[in-house]
Structure 1
Amino acid sequence: MEQWIREYIRASGAPDITSLRAALTTTLPDQLLQLVTTIRDSKSYTALLLAISRDHPVVAHLLLTPLRGIADELLFVKVEGGDTALHWAVWKGDRELVELILHTVSSGKKYELIAVKDGGGYTALTNAAQSGDTEIVDTLLISLSVEQRVSLLNIRTISLNTALHKAAYLGHTAALQSMLTSIPPGKVSAFLSIKNDDRRTPLKDAEYWGWKDTVELLKSWQQPILAAQAAAADKKIAALQEADRLKTEELANQREELLESHQQIVALQEADNRKTAELTNQREESQRQIIALQETNNQLTADMAVMMERLYRLDIYLHTPTDTDETGDQLHEPQG
C-alpha cells in the first residue's frame, strides 16, 4: 500500500485501480489511515487530496470507504491555500464524494469540518453557495442540526461575505432558497440584514448585479414565510434524510465487505505461517538426524580401522617363523 501511494503521488496520469484494490485487501484500516495521512507531496497534498484535485473520484472513494469514523486527522489536512479534501470535493461539484466525506468524519467533528476556513475565509458551504450547487448545499446543511446551520450561515469570509452573500452576488436563487429554508423563519431577517465590507446585504448585492429572480426571492423572505413553503421545505428535508440513510447503509455494507475480505486474508496468512513453522521444525529435525548418522558412521569407520590394524598385526604374527636350536627348542619369540 505504501508503494502504491508513493507512486500515485509522483505520477500524474491515470491510476492503476486494480493495484489499489489489491493493496487495500491486505491493509488494515489503521495502517491505511497512517499511510494516507503521513505520505504527502511538497505542497502537503495527500493521496486523497490529489485524487480529488486530479478528478480521480474512484481512488478517493476506495481510500475513504474503509476509514469511516477514524479519518478525522486525514480530513482536516490543509494544503497550500488552506483547502481541505471537503473544500476540493465541493469545488469539483462531486456530491457523492461530499457525502462520503461527511459519512467518514466522526459525527462530533462534522460541523467543525464543514466550518473549516481556507485562506480567504471560505467554508465548504461558502464554496457551494458560490458555485450555485444546490444539491451540495443541501447535502452539507442536512447533515447538521438547526443550531449548527445557523452558526454556519453566520461565518464570513475576509471580505465579510456570508454564504448568502456569495449566492446572491452570482444570482444562485435555488441555492439561496435551500439555505434560507434550512433555518428557523425567525432567524431569516437577521441573516438578510448582514452587510459585507461593501456595506451591502445579500438583497442589495442581488439588486446591484441585476438578478431579478434572486431579488424577488429575497424580498419574499422579508415577509412571513407561507405555510406551503414550510411544508415543501420539510418534505425536501425528509427526502434528503432518507437518501442520507440509504447512503449510510450502503457505505456500512461496503465497509463490512472490506473487513470480511481482510479477515479472510489474515486467516490464510496465519495458516501459512503455521505451515511454514511446521516445515521448519521438520527440516531442523531431519538435519539433527543426519548429523547423528554421520557421527555414528564416523565412529564405525574409526572402529573398523582399529580392528583392521589388529587383524593385520595378528596376520603378521601368525606368518612369522620362529628361531630354534639344534634340538628344535625355540630360542626366542618373534618380535611384534
Structure 2
Amino acid sequence: MEQWIREYIRANGAPDITYLKAALTTTPPDRLFQLIRTIRGSKSYTALLLAIYRDHPEVAHLLLSPLRGIADELLFEKTKDGHTALHRAVEKGDRELVELLLHTVSSGKKYKLLAEKDELGWTALTVAVGRGYTEIVETLLISLSGRQRVSLLSIQDSSLNTALHKAAYMGHTTVLQSMLTSIPPDKVSVLVNRMNMNSRTPLEDAESEGKKESVELLKSWQQPVLAAHAATYQKFAALHKADNQKSKALTNQGAELAESKQQIVALQEEDNRKTAELANQREELVESQQQIVALQEANNQMTADMAAMMERLNRLDIYLRTPTDTDETGDQLHEPLG
C-alpha cells in the first residue's frame, strides 16, 4: 500500500491508479489513515488533496470511505491558498464528494469544517454561492442545525460580505432563496440587514448591481412571507434530520467495512501462514522423496551385490561337488579352491 501511495503522489498527469485502488480495498482503516497522513508530496499535499485536485473522485472515495469519524485531521489540512479538501470539492462542483466529506468528518467537527476560511475569508459555502451551485449550497446547509446555519450564514469574509451579500451581488437568486428558506423565521431579518464594509445590506448590493430578481426576492421577505416561511423551514429541518440518519447509516457501514477489511487481512495472514506451511511440507516431501530414491538405489545396489554373491556361492558349491581327477588310490581330487 505504501508503495502505491508514494507512486500516486509522485506521478504527474493522469497516473495509473489500478494498483492503488486494489491496495485500498484491503488496507485496514487505521493503517490507511497513518499512511495518508505521513506520506506527502513536494508541497506537503496528502494523497487525499491530490486526488481531489487531480479530478480523481474514485480515489478520493476509496481513501475516505473507510475513514469515517477518524479522518478529521486530514480534512482540516489546507493548501497554500487556505483551501481544505471541502473547499476544493465544492469548487469542482462534485456534490457526491461534498456529501462524502461531510459524512466522513465526525459530527462534532462538521460545523467547524464548514466554517474554515481560505485566504480571502471564504468558507466552502461562500465558494458554492459564488459559483451558483444551488444543490451544493443546500447540501452544505442541510448538514447543519438551524442555529449552526445562522452562524455559518453570519460569517463575513475579508470585505465583511456574508454569503447572502455574495449571492445578492452576483444575482444568484435561486441560491439566495435556498439560503433564506434554511434560516429560522425569527433570524431572517437580522441576516438580511447585515452590512458589509461598504455599509450595504444584501438588498443594497443587489440594487447597486442591477440584479432585479434578487432585489424583488429580498424585498418580498417581509412579515407575510416570514409567516408562511415557518412551514418551509420545518421541511428543511426534516431534511436535516434525514441527513443525520443517512450519516449515521454511512458511519455504521464504514464500521462494517472496516471490520470486513480487518477480517480480510486476517484471512490473508492465515492464508499466508498456511501457504508457508504447505511450502515447508512440500520441501519436506521432496526431501523424503529424495531419501526414498536414495534408499531404493541403495537397495538395488544391495540386491545386485547379493545376486553376485549368490552366483559366486553357487559356483563354489559346484566346484566343491564336481570330481575333476583321481589319485593312485582311486580317491577323487578337486580343483583348488582359490
Quickly name the TM-score band, shorter chain normalised.
0.7 to 0.9
| 2:100 corresponding residue in structure 1 | 100
Matches within 5 A, 1:181-192: 181-192=181-192
Task: Kindly state the Cα deviation for residue 218 of structure 1 after the two structures are TM-superposed.
Answer: 0.7
Aligned 8 A contact 2:77 2:84 in 1:
yes
Aligned 8 A contact 1:25 1:258 in 2:
no
Q: Taking every aligned residue pair, what percent have the same amino acid on both sides?
A: 62
Q: Deviations over 1:64-84 (max 9, x none)?
A: 001011000000011101110
Number of aligned residues: 288
| 1:28 corresponding residue in structure 2 | 28
Task: Kindly state the Cα deviation for residue 266 of structure 1 after the two structures are TM-superposed.
Answer: 1.8
- State the alpha-carbon separation in 2 of the partners of residues 8 and 275 from structure 1: 31
Task: Kindly state the Cα deviation for residue 230 of structure 1 after the two structures are TM-superposed.
Answer: 3.3
- For residues 150 and 239 of structure 1, do their structure 2 counterparts lie closer, same or farther at Cα, with a shift above 3 Å needed? closer
- State the alpha-carbon separation in 2 of the partners of residues 185 and 230 from structure 1: 6
- State the alpha-carbon separation in 2 of the partners of residues 15 and 240 from structure 1: 39
Aligned 8 A contact 2:130 2:166 in 1:
yes
2:183 is paired with a residue whose SS is: coil
- State the alpha-carbon separation in 2 of the partners of residues 149 and 239 from structure 1: 13
- State the alpha-carbon separation in 2 of the partners of residues 239 and 257 from structure 1: 26
Aligned 8 A contact 2:129 2:166 in 1:
yes
Task: Kindly state the Cα deviation for residue 15 of structure 1 after the two structures are TM-superposed.
Answer: 4.0
Matches within 5 A, 1:16-55: 16-55=16-55
Alignment RMSD, CA only? Answer: 2.7
Aligned 8 A contact 2:93 2:133 in 1:
yes
Question: Is structure 2 residue 137 aligned with structure 1 residue 137?
Answer: yes
- Judge which range, 11-20 or 113-122, deviates more: 11-20
Question: Is structure 2 residue 162 aligned with structure 1 residue 166?
Answer: no
Task: Kindly state the Cα deviation for residue 228 of structure 1 after the two structures are TM-superposed.
Answer: 4.2
- Judge which range, 71-80 or 192-201, deviates more: 192-201
Unaligned runs of 5+ in 2: 292-338
Matches within 5 A, 1:73-112: 73-112=73-112
Question: With structure 2 as the length reference, what TM-score do the two structures score?
Answer: 0.77
| 1:209 corresponding residue in structure 2 | 209
Q: Deviations over 1:44-89 (max 9, x none)?
A: 3211111111211111111100101100000001110111000001
Task: Kindly state the Cα deviation for residue 28 of structure 1 after the two structures are TM-superposed.
Answer: 1.1
Q: Deviations over 1:283-308 (max 9, x none)?
A: 79x89xx9xxxxxxxxxxxxxxxxxx
Aligned 8 A contact 2:142 2:236 in 1:
no
Bigger relative contact order (CA 8 A; separation at least 6): 2
- State the alpha-carbon separation in 2 of the partners of residues 244 and 136 from structure 1: 17
Question: Is structure 2 residue 123 aligned with structure 1 residue 123?
Answer: yes
Task: Kindly state the Cα deviation for residue 21 of structure 1 after the two structures are TM-superposed.
Answer: 2.5
- Judge which range, 161-170 or 253-262, deviates more: 253-262
Aligned AA for 2:188? V
Question: With structure 1 as the length reference, what TM-score do the two structures score?
Answer: 0.77
Aligned 8 A contact 1:76 1:113 in 2:
yes
